[in-house]
Amino acid sequence: MELSMNTQSLSLPFKSLINHSFNHQLPFTTKLITKPRTTRLTVTARRKEPIEGLSDDLNAIASYNLDFAYTRRKVRAAFAEVQQQLDHCLFKNAPAAIRTEEWYERNSRGMEIFCKSWMPEPGIPIRASVCFCHGYGDTCTFFFEGIARRIAAAGYAVFAMDYPGFGLSEGLHGYIPNFDDLVDDVIEHYRRVKARPDLRGLPRFLLGQSMGGAVSLKVHLKEPNNWDGVVLVAPMCKIADDVLPSDAIMKVLTLLSNVMPKAKLFPNQDLAELAFREPSKRNLAVYNVICYEDNPRLKTGLELLRTTKEIESQVQKVSAPLLILHGAADKVTDPLVSQFLYEKASSKDKTLKLYEDGYHCILEGEPDDRIFAVHDDIISWLDFRCQLK
């Protein structure tokens, strides 16, 4: 089903700039309709490609409009069994005795937030809590399921939430009107987690992947003494200059965001081939059916840029014990930025691990042995810090 959206009128001087820049970068068609006194930008989304091997009914469900949480929840429920049967080491080899719980809670802004926990099997004492921050467009209910189970099997209580506008939480899909509000939502939820009777007095760690790395760093900077360590996987701390829109385009985007902040017009690259090194695992990513796949909404894109600039200017204030993991061949977030963070952070306890030939998704998109090696590196780092407490 194609989706058409007519935005507010644009003034004529934008015409050539938009035609030149947008038509070659966006995953939908754009055309300018000029009438005597107005110019209107019409955006038509491309139809989702069907997933091979699925029934027509499931493909129809996968093509639902995911703008609102109630639809995303229906789609996730329809695909839950299919996802568990995927031929991926995170699903096939996931520890089975882990105790899991899912629930919703309302944050102080009145939004219903999806939450999930993975606890060690009965009889294994909890060593610490690990609070996860997922990446842009993602959710904590797909690949992270297997990652969380492996960490929980090592004796850790793992917690995750979907940010407002992502996954199963309320909010317009993929929309971040203010990144600092999102960070405050994370702080609010994990403050409740840390207050649980079974976790009081235990070490607590943040684990952030990609954009979740930026979230984790902002959380740490806002409450620098409340965490015993931060683990960052391919963190988004700075946008590489070669993927930034030009200054001229940035001016247009900024102006457009003031009148239609939710429009999916922020230039973006197709990153699927850059994120997963293993082709078979890249093919399975399409089953993450509630992820946000369209171009970033205008306000979202600008908020991500603003946030990375803020973090870049404050990296010397990062003081928590720090583990940074990055694929050396990552073309989505630059490993040199992780090197910059490692060198500039004031943390006395800091470690940087670069994985040769690794792409962006080193937790789930590499060969099996590499995936397990990265998980083991995280667990070993956590184990050692817990021994120090």
What percent of the chain shows pLDDT beyond 90?
78
22-66 pLDDT per residue, tens = 333 333 333 333 344 444 444 444 457 899 889 999 999 999 999
- Rounded to whole angstroms, the Cα distance separating 249 from 231 reads 35
What number of CA atoms fall less than 13 Å from residue 97's CA on the CB side?
A: 8
CB of 207 within 8 A of CB of 378? Answer: yes
65-387 carries CATH number 3.30.70.100: no
Per DSSP, 45 falls in state: E
Domain boundaries, the chain: 1-47, 65-387
* Among 10-19, 67-76, 378-387, the least confident range: 10-19
Please provide the DSSP assignment of 207-234 as one string.
EEETHHHHHHHHHHHHSTTS-SEEEEES
- Rounded to whole angstroms, the Cα distance separating 8 from 283 reads 38
Q: Considering Cα of 194, then 388, then 362, then 327, what sign does the dihedral take?
A: positive
Residue 219 confidence (pLDDT) above 80 = yes
- The single residue of 162, 185, 228, 330 carrying the catalytic annotation is 330
Please provide the DSSP assignment of 136-163 as one string.
TT--SSSHHHHHHHHHHHTTEEEEEEPP
What percent of the chain shows pLDDT beyond 70?
86
Residue 333 confidence (pLDDT) above 70 = yes
The pLDDT of residue 47 is: 57
330 catalytically annotated: yes
- The single residue of 169, 210, 216, 338 carrying the catalytic annotation is 210
376 catalytically annotated: no
Residue 98: both structure tokens together:
């882990």
The pLDDT of residue 239 is: 67
* Among 101-105, 166-170, 219-223, 272-276, the least confident range: 272-276
- Rounded to whole angstroms, the Cα distance separating 127 from 123 reads 12
- Rounded to whole angstroms, the Cα distance separating 259 from 29 reads 20
* 128 vs 253, residue with greater confidence: 128
Residue 154 confidence (pLDDT) above 80 = yes
Average pLDDT over the chain reads 87
- The single residue of 88, 189, 220, 360 carrying the catalytic annotation is 360
Q: What is the mean pLDDT of residues 2-22?
A: 31
Sheet holding 229-233, edge to edge: 99-106, 112-119, 156-161, 128-133, 204-209, 229-233, 322-327, 350-355
* Among 4-18, 33-47, 227-241, 248-262, the least confident range: 4-18
267-314 pLDDT per residue, tens = 777 777 889 999 999 999 999 999 999 999 999 999 999 999 999 999
- Rounded to whole angstroms, the Cα distance separating 183 from 219 reads 6
Residue 159 confidence (pLDDT) above 80 = yes
CA-based R_g, the chain, Å? 21
In order of 49, 75, 91, 145, 289, the CA distances from 78 in angstroms are: 18, 5, 17, 17, 10
360 catalytically annotated: yes
Which residues are registered as beta bridge partners of 106?
A: 112
Residue 325: pLDDT band (50, 70, 90) is very high
State CA 382 to chain mean position distance. Answer: 22
The pLDDT of residue 249 is: 86
Instruction: Tell how strand 128-133 and strand 112-119 pair up.
Output: unpaired
CB of 261 within 8 A of CB of 177? Answer: yes
